[in-house]
Amino acid sequence: MVWIHGGALTIGGTFMQDGGVLSAYQNVVVVVIQYRLGILGFFSTGDEHSPGNYGLLDQVAALQWVQENIHSFGGDPGSVTILGESAGGFSVSLQILSPLSAGLFRYAIAESGTATMDSLLADDPLPTAQHLANLSSCDISSSKTMVDCVMNMSEEELLRNAEKAELISVKVAVDGQFLPKPVYEILQNQQFHKVPFITGINDDEGGFSLLHFRLRPGWTEGVDREQALAVMPFMNPQLSDRQVREAVLNEYVGSTDDPIKIRDGVREMYGDLMFNIPARKTAKYHKDSGAPVYLYEFQHTLSLFKKMRPSFVGCDHGDELTFVFGTCFTNIDLPVQFTEGENELCRTLMSYWGNFARTGSPNGPGLTPWPEHGADAEYLAIGLEQKPAKNLKGKHYTFITETLPRLIIEKKDGPVVQTKLGALKGEYLMVKGKDTVVHSYLGVPFAKPPLGPLRLAPPQPAEAWAGVRDATQQPNICIQSRPLLVQLLQMFAVNMDIPEISEDCLYLNVYTPAKPGEDTKLPVMVWIHGGAFTIGSASMQDGSVLAAYQNVVVVVIQYRLGVLGFFSTGDEHSPGNYGLLDQVAALQWVQENIYSFGGDPGKVTIFGESAGGVSVSLQILSPLSAGLFHSAVAQSGSSAVDAIWASDPLPTTQHLANISGCDISSSKTMVDCVMKLSKEELLRTAEAVSFSLFYVQ
């Protein structure tokens, strides 16, 4: 059992944990390691000058040493469990994600610390590096000057730097080696070691000790709302907006001004944001991968600390370590005696941990059965008695994982992406059950508006625009029968606003989990809506859930419908199939622009349903779409549906022209008439025709 100590990646050492009792009581080999801390362990400039994560690489080196040498100490290199608490639990959780630690351990235990602790993750490590370098009066004008300065520091200067730094002064970065990708991306894609995993928390993680670093002296007697709001960015770096912080505070304390209630709410909030909810999130990622997961909440208030802490403190951060390492049975003189119940709890916790190190399951003879963490979010409440339970921190878990991300996103400016035609500003979306932030860009033009002479003509390439185009509103929908569309939506119990109906409708929507500029080369799925070629729009399908759950870029397109999309005289005056040509234009846009949204133009799937499925099937047949997609899905519609084919389009065209009051004596007179119809006349025609009148020629 290899122990990785905690201490916010800034303090700690092997001297803090004696593995003797655990070794004796569980008949295991215990290894306690050290690793570089603070500026020497985690100084990252985010580039080749100092990628960072040296402390984590030290841990890998220690695990490699175990593989090569532990047999000399009677240990089995094929049965290694890594375990740690706080930043040590965070480290354990990261080792599970790193390709460098493959084969170095078999099981893992992360206590009160997991990889989803946002306060220890750096999106951009440079500001942290500049802050640390500035503490030592280094030139921070470039990565190289900072690294050169740190390389030349004396031990005394390093110690002064460590003493000036805050408790959480360093963070883990994506270095391309230990962490090849961001933590959440690795977790979402399940690109980690699927080992049996124990993780959990104490019931009062924010109870006392850690808040001493953040709140003024005297906070134990009460906290006001302003103090509570001020400390929250430390708990989660995304809580910078005051309105968001007030919403979080209201979740925990309501509108009260009672300083005692606020104090207790802050304690609970601190524990949830820093440790508790990250533990549940991480457990879910591992459970979803198929790995066995065991979640716990340690609930016993240690008698040793009752005279040292205020009476309101429960089981504080780190309190379980007394029992994990069997301090009840140490030879060290302690100021109080453990109770017999606590002695038994020491035996129990060591047994759970020891069983896990032997078999990958904590369960064994004489122990309360510990349920595997599954669909009901099962966990074990551990105290003087043990009790299986469900849905740990359930109410606040829902708020922090679903409501809070939406509140944060609403306060952010939308993402801006650069395409070949110009810049687009979209918006951030959250999806239930996923931590993925989806970037949506609505109403993106893929062709010129088909107005004037472009009516009843093939689509033309869209024109570039200056500045940043707003892409946060659903686009106009193509000319169609509004009453028929309303009827269809009601039939499927869909409640949505219908955008404006307009000829200017050749737009598409993009939903992507990739950040602007990320070279992710994600698969692309292009949706073609159905509706008998007479109704439908891009706004009817939100691609964000599919994008988030499958890590793909989803594009939802529109195309001309009805008279304007499929009016064919069967000759040169109006060959028809303009709606299908619009689809080709949209696919060409995808080829030219989708890389800007993190998509791979070489991995495009087209899919659609009903008339959309027919369209997909027809695109497979058309020489115009060669090379524009690489796989296809046709749902409830294909090119073999006889009802969509017109052996002679002229009777249908004459009927349509007649509805509009046009002269139907020749192809030219009909086309000239349709070219002059007003929007109102086009809408009346759309409302007068049946649901399935239009045919492919």
Active site residues: 86, 205, 317
H or E element: which one contains 202?
strand 197-202
Amino acid occupying residue 81: T
DSSP string, 404-467: HHHHHHHTSPPPEEE-SS-EEE-EEEE-TT--PEEEEEEEEE-B----GGGTTS---BPPP-SS
DSSP string, 533-602: TTS--GGG---HHHHHHHT-EEEEE----HHHHH---SSTT----HHHHHHHHHHHHHHHHGGGGTEEEE
- Cα Dmax for the chain: 109
Can you tell me whether residue 510 is helix, strand or coil?
A: strand
Which residues fall within 8 angstroms of residue 299, CB to CB, at 6 or more apart? 202, 203, 314, 315, 381, 382, 383
Instruction: Give the other-Cβ count within 10 Å of 125's Cβ.
Output: 25
Which residues fall within 8 angstroms of residue 263, CB to CB, at 6 or more apart? 219, 220, 221, 222, 223
Distance separating alpha carbons of residues 352 and 346, to the nearest angstrom: 10
Distance separating alpha carbons of residues 206 and 198, to the nearest angstrom: 21
The first and second tokens of residue 226, run together, are 């302003």
Torsion angle (degrees, nearest 10) of CA 540, 545, 548, 552:
-40
- Mapped to the 3 state alphabet, what secondary structure does 457-476 carry? CCCCECCCCCCEEECCCCCC
Please name which of 269, 300, 266, 298 lies closest in space to residue 395, comparing C-alpha atoms.
269
As beta bridge partners, residue 109 has 83, 198
